[in-house]
Structure 1
Amino acid sequence: MNRLPDTGHSYWMRTAALPSFPPLSGAAEADVAVIGSGIVGLSTAWELARAGLTVTVLEADRLAGGVTGHTTGKLTALHTAVYDTLRSKHGEDAARRYAESQGAALRHVIEVAEELGIDCELERRPALTYCEQPEGVGALRAEAEAARSAGLSASFVTETGLPFPVAGAVRVEDQAQFHPLKYLRGLVHEIVALGGRIHEGTRVTELDDGDPCRLTTDSGATVSARHVVVATHHPVFDHALLATRLTQHRDLVIAGPLPAHRDPGGMYITEEGGKRSVRTSPLADGSRLLIVTGEAFTPGEGGDTDAGYARLQAWTEQHFPDVTIAHRWAAQDNSATDTLPLIGAMPGGGENVYVATGFAGWGMTGGVLAGTVIASLVNGEEEPWGGLYDPGRLGSALRSAPTLLKAQWETGKHFVKDRLDTLGEGTNGPVESLRPGEGTVVRAGGKPCAVHRDDRGGLHAVSAVCTHLGCLVAFNNAERTWECPCHGSRFGIDGRILQGPALRPLERRDPGEL
């Protein structure tokens, strides 16, 4: 097995240079302030800017550098096996509206790319959900029937373009894939041309949902706006405790060049074997970039992420022996406990605060959909999908109570265990035994301390208590990050925030006091 490249920026981030923007300073005003610059934030900002509103986008780090920058870039209404679940949980009409809305988002990307002349490597491809084990065939037959009833061109097939046999698959024609950051780069240029303002390196730390709303940033700069959109993947401002209705998962991604004649000719996914997702993207020399995703895990659970990469690599090299892995990265997603994303007015957040979250790994169509839904609400128009995605919905939340309770049990278990656990010699062994690249959580001076030994042997120590709601972080050995198992916040070894909902970094500790 070849050695994997170091983790770092995704292929998309390496091949699409987005423009840079200065941090916000002083006081600003806008019709709409958008917090977050992923596909939700930028899609919403563009929809509103072209409607004639003044828009300010505030990004804590760099444009599209979070979840969107680490996606696999699929544009499809076939979301693994969602339609049979939707039909049973919410009814035939909800499944139909879900299919219509996701298909509308896919078509919207195609139309916008054509309208704005955005070259984003957009290709039409079929999407397939497959299984290799015969035990999975019944569920996929049911999914194909449910997807057809919802209005998709779905069929059950037993032959695919994959280089190995499958027991069965749901196939939906005429879906799409693209380079997500090249698409968003086009939106950014248009937002600026329409008078929109964008600020990177600007973390919003306070939201006053008055009239107007007032945002305060970590530098003390402020924005007053009639409307606020919280587009931070996991909502960093959460008056209605939407976090209790979300679960987190993280997927590993590897990619490498593949001869064009080996292209499997579609977008594939299975939940078997820790999940496997396969698709390709065009390369300049005429070959294809094979992108394989899998080994899903809950961030902060403390597993061996390097071992997950090794399993994903072994699977890829077994099925695609012509590939040499050239890139690896990881993506994080959250899912709503009742299956449907949460898009619309923030419950308990005032009349003019909006949120979009819970896309369950399908944020490309979901994010574009969110932009159109929120733009309609801001403009005082009727929400186009009949409240299907309303974050304030109660009926579906009650119907999903078992799933919600299970999610909260897991969070509560971590919270209580963290306070009872003495940590002994450390979650991954004592500090003295740490090898370069490793990390552990110990108690120092009676307080949990997260300790990492760098490649030169130096120690780095920060508080192990997540600044969001106080759960203990765990070490991700492949990405060398500290991750919270409760709500997915991620921190660098120096404690800086890599991913919310945390708004404050981990407090630094003196390694000499360990």
Structure 2
Amino acid sequence: MLPGSEESYWMDTTSATAYPVLTDDVDVDVVVIGGGIAGICTAWELTEAGQTVALVEADRIAAGVTGNTTAKLSALHTLIYQRIRKSFDTDAARLYAASQQQAIERVFDVAARLNTDCDLERVPAYTWADSPDQLDRIRAEADAAAEAGLAASFVTETGLPFPVAGAVRVENQAQFHPRSYLLALAADLTWNGGLIFERTRATGLHDGDPCTVTTEGGRTITARRVVIATHYPVFDRALTFARLEPRRELVIAATIPAEKDPGGVYLTPEHNTRSVRTAPYREGQRLLIVTGEHFSPGTGDATEQWWRLIDWTGERFPHAEVVYRWAAQDNTTTDHVPFIGRFHPATSHVFVATGFGGWGMSTGVMAGQLLAALITGDEPAWTGLYDPRRLNPVREAGSILKLGARTVGHFVGDRAQSSHADSPADVQPGTGAVVRVRGEQWAVYRDETGAAHAVAARCTHLGCIVNFNQAETTWECPCHGSRFGVDGAVLQGPATRPLQPQQLPAEPADPAKPTDR
């Protein structure tokens, strides 16, 4: 059995929210769809600018992707500066660095202003390599990051309890408790007249002047501007799905003695990615948070990856005792720069923030500032860099073709392939499988009591066939990353509609079991 509580530390150490469901039609300047870090920061910044704002969240705010993050506030995003300098130019790398660093400073400014205790700490950030074969890439990134304006240097010593071949070190980065920070913003937002509606799923969008957003409950929000900040856009008239790749990563949190704190935020692209940071915990202890083992949603059971991450942590941090485990998900754009700005060329009213590439904390804060500025008539220097309407066929063609081929492969191939179960009766307790029933593919899960639960296996986004993730007891779409509970409920978009429940045929009685007479 996997160790640790199946809940993120951020969720476990903050109070649940209870904002109301939308029950009446409302009229505001801006409606923000999505209550993660990008949505909350955007709504807060707009309220600060004097706009009337309504934020709608399908579940609870700061509880989805943001509630399951690693929460590193860093402008050092693995090896991004070499990539941007090569794919764009040196000026683009400088703009990226400036926008990300100012977002970190914004968190310090706002946290001080709101007097919120969110465990905010200044620490250096590192991208390290174990293998000497990777040193040329590490040195090149140190040079590129310094040229972009960060306080970056190449080092061979870090605070990690094991030797490294080399690392990029960047000063004045941070780590914090993201949910504590965002709940403080939400409280301040509503105090200043902003509206937050939870358990209010947006299901329709009319792009006009004004715009209207309809919700699952049949209510309407009328607004001059709309921001889609749902992690993966739930309304995709710009065909963003062809330029976004979903990725899932596992996270464990383990106690270590306070004196063993490595004193920074760390990441290596080796070992299928390993990310390390700490957080304040109990007296004499820190919480070591380790992320890694990235994989595509819907590719099957993640149990083996969990054990690889746990074993790596135990080997590198011998005093670590796992107390939490959870998983994070994000999307990467085909040119590795997020999409933040006007959604597509035909709109001047709808904006989007997506494709954060695993760096949602600094990018989410920056997105709030950028979108608020665009909506109120300003254009920061980095507007063009993040503009979703950009398209460079030369640098994106390979990634777009690869994503398209993978999606087509799942869309066509998954309909033909067989699973390990020929019928619902073959699905064992605690497992799930896609089986054919009456000529249709159904997703069947059998719980530990033996009761079977069946839903339609076609994702309600674009119709790909879902797959079962046994480690998290979820159905996941391998095409665009939608996730569903075993009852079909939407856990993560872009899908907005649940998988349709199905009524299984009566199962024959087990002759080994006694019957009542």
Give the TM-score of the pair, scaled to structure 1: 0.96
Deviations 1:42-88 (A, max 9, x none): 00000000111110010000111111110011101000111101111
CA RMSD between the two structures = 1.4
Equivalence for 1:463: 456
Q: Does 1:289 align with 2:282?
A: no
Does the CA contact (< 8 Å) of 1:373 and 1:384 recur in 2? no
Q: Does 1:449 align with 2:442?
A: yes
Deviations 1:234-277 (A, max 9, x none): 00011110111100100000102110011111111111111111
Q: Distance in 2 between matches of 1:278 and 1:256?
A: 11
SS at match of 1:512: coil
1:441 Cα shift? 0.7
Does the CA contact (< 8 Å) of 2:370 and 2:383 recur in 1? no
1:155 Cα shift? 1.1
Deviations 1:355-380 (A, max 9, x none): 00001000100001100110011101
1:394 Cα shift? 2.2
Aligned length: 507
1:430 Cα shift? 5.2
Equivalence for 1:343: 340
Equivalence for 1:313: 310
Aligned residue among 246, 250, 253 for 1:252: 250
Return the letter of the residue paired with 1:384. Answer: A
Equivalence for 2:512: none
1:415 Cα shift? 1.0
SS at match of 1:400: helix
Deviations 1:403-441 (A, max 9, x none): 12111111111112123x1x43x2567543433221111
Q: Does 1:198 align with 2:196?
A: yes
Q: Distance in 2 between matches of 1:29 and 1:17?
A: 30
Q: Distance in 2 between matches of 1:293 and 1:430?
A: 37
Q: Structure 2 vs 1, CA of residues 203 and 386 (structure 1 numbering), >3 Å: closer, same or farther?
A: closer
Q: Does 1:162 align with 2:163?
A: no
Equivalence for 1:405: 401
The correspondence of residues 367-406 of structure 1 with structure 2, limited to 5 A, is 367-395=364-392, 397-406=393-402
Q: Structure 2 vs 1, CA of residues 36 and 140 (structure 1 numbering), >3 Å: closer, same or farther?
A: same
Equivalence for 1:88: 86
Does the CA contact (< 8 Å) of 2:302 and 2:469 recur in 1? yes
* Mean Cα deviation higher: 463-472 or 276-285: 276-285
Equivalence for 2:209: 211
* Mean Cα deviation higher: 452-461 or 463-472: 452-461
1:285 Cα shift? 1.6
Does the CA contact (< 8 Å) of 1:428 and 1:439 recur in 2? no
Structure 1 gap segments, 5+ residues each = none
Q: Distance in 1 between matches of 2:94 and 2:129?
A: 24
Q: Distance in 1 between matches of 2:283 and 2:150?
A: 35
SS at match of 1:318: helix
Deviations 1:22-59 (A, max 9, x none): 11012111111000110000000000001111100100
Structure 2 gap segments, 5+ residues each = 508-517
1:385 Cα shift? 1.4
Q: Distance in 2 between matches of 1:464 and 1:274?
A: 30
Does the CA contact (< 8 Å) of 1:209 and 1:349 recur in 2? no
The correspondence of residues 6-405 of structure 1 with structure 2, limited to 5 A, is 6-7=5-6, 9-302=7-300, 304-348=301-345, 350-395=347-392, 397-405=393-401
SS at match of 2:321: coil
Q: Distance in 1 between matches of 2:116 and 2:5?
A: 31
Does the CA contact (< 8 Å) of 2:423 and 2:436 recur in 1? no
SS at match of 1:272: coil
SS at match of 1:450: strand
Deviations 1:305-328 (A, max 9, x none): 111111111111111121211100
Does the CA contact (< 8 Å) of 1:240 and 1:349 recur in 2? no
Equivalence for 1:498: 491
1:226 Cα shift? 0.6
Does the CA contact (< 8 Å) of 1:161 and 1:266 recur in 2? yes
* Mean Cα deviation higher: 12-21 or 69-78: 12-21
Return the letter of the residue paired with 1:333. Answer: D
Q: Distance in 1 between matches of 2:378 and 2:491?
A: 36
Give the TM-score of the pair, scaled to structure 2: 0.96
Identity within the alignment, %? 54
